[in-house]
Amino acid sequence: MEEYLSEKEQWEWLKSQVRENATSVVLAVAVVIIAVAGWRWWQARNDGARVAASDTYAQMVKSLGDRGKALAALGVLERDYPSTPYADQGRLLAARIYVDDGELDRAATELTAVMQGSKDHDLSLVARARLARVQIAQGKAEAAIATLDGAGKDTGAFAATWHEIRGDALLARSDRAGALREYRLAQSTAVEQPSELLSLKIADLASDAPAPAAASIAAADAASGNVSR
């Protein structure tokens, strides 16, 4: 008795398998074709949505001189493309419009929406920082500090910005020593060259700080490992 089938027997066996499983094979192939076609359609749809959202955001930017048109474009982004990053960027731009017009409550609403809802972590941090600045302008220094604290320690490249805004909030509370400490931390943790404004803030507070307080601030900086370079 032969251990293996002959070539003819193997061919006959293969044909019988094809006949017996033809329906399953055809169905499997059809499922694969439908899945691939569906994936390509979904990609094309998403690509088209992103392009359209980008164009709408560009229109919003161009319409900054016309508040009505700019906010109308934001409405389109929020209605038709809410899951795209352009909707979040549109809200940030709307917040800027509201700030320029002195409507800080509306600006805070837009910034809070991005801070809480954006899938982009960095964009969420940008919104959080701007919200804290708006809250300081509203006379809500404590709320600004709470907003900053809400990010935890995961501020990444925004660490210097966090220290500077916290310094602004402390200064609004008349805590000049605390503000100076935060400004110095902002200066020492800055990824890029610190702004001239930050340097002016430090110089202004340091010029009239009592010697003991200045020494205490320097000691605190040294203890935290954030000595200015």
Q: Above pLDDT 90, what percent of the chain?
A: 48
CA distances 22 to 25, 26, 27, 36, 161, Å, are: 5, 6, 8, 21, 66
Does pLDDT of 45 surpass 80? no
Neighbours of 142 (CB within 10 A): 12
Q: How confident is the model at residue 191 (pLDDT cuts 50, 70, 90)?
A: confident
Q: How far apart are CA 186 and CA 174, in angstroms?
A: 19
Cα–Cα distance for residue pair 76/65, rounded to 1 Å: 18
CA-closest candidate to residue 91, choices 69, 76, 113: 113
Structure tokens at 141: 């220094």
Q: Which residues contact 160 (CB under 8 A, 6 or more apart)?
A: 185, 186, 187, 189, 190, 191, 194
Inter-residue contact 184 to 217 (CB < 8 Å): yes
Tens of pLDDT, residues 111-156: 999 999 999 999 999 999 999 999 999 999 999 999 999 998 888 8
Closest by alpha carbon to 108, among 142, 138, 146?
Answer: 138
Give this prediction's pTM.
0.69
- CA distances (Å), origin 122, targets 23, 56, 81, 154, 177: 52, 22, 20, 10, 30
Amino acid code (one letter) for 39: W
Alpha-helical runs (H) found in 118-152: 121-137, 141-149
In the predicted model, is pLDDT for residue 2 greater than 60? no
At 213 the pLDDT is: 41
Contacts with 119 (C-beta within 8 Å, 6 or more apart), sequence order: 83, 85
What pLDDT, on a 0 to 100 scale, did the predictor assign at position 118? 92
Give the integer Cα–Cα distance in Å for 223 and 156.
21
Q: Give the model's pLDDT for residue 103.
A: 96
Delimiting residues of CATH 1.25.40 domain(s) in the chain: 50-141
Give, in words, the CATH class of 50-141: mainly alpha
- Maximum Cα–Cα distance for the chain, whole Å? 107
Q: Does position 211 have pLDDT exceeding 50, yes or no?
A: no
How many CB atoms sit inside 10 A of residue 19's CB? 9
SS3 102: coil
Exposure string of 70-80, with b = 16+ CB inside 10 Å and e = fewer, is bbebbebbeee
Q: What's the half-sphere exposure (Cβ side, CA atoms, 13 Å) at 6?
A: 3
> Out of 2-16, 164-178, 189-203, which region has the weakest mean confidence (pLDDT)?
2-16
Kindly report, residue by residue over 69-100, the tens digit of the pLDDT: 999 998 998 888 888 889 999 999 999 999 99
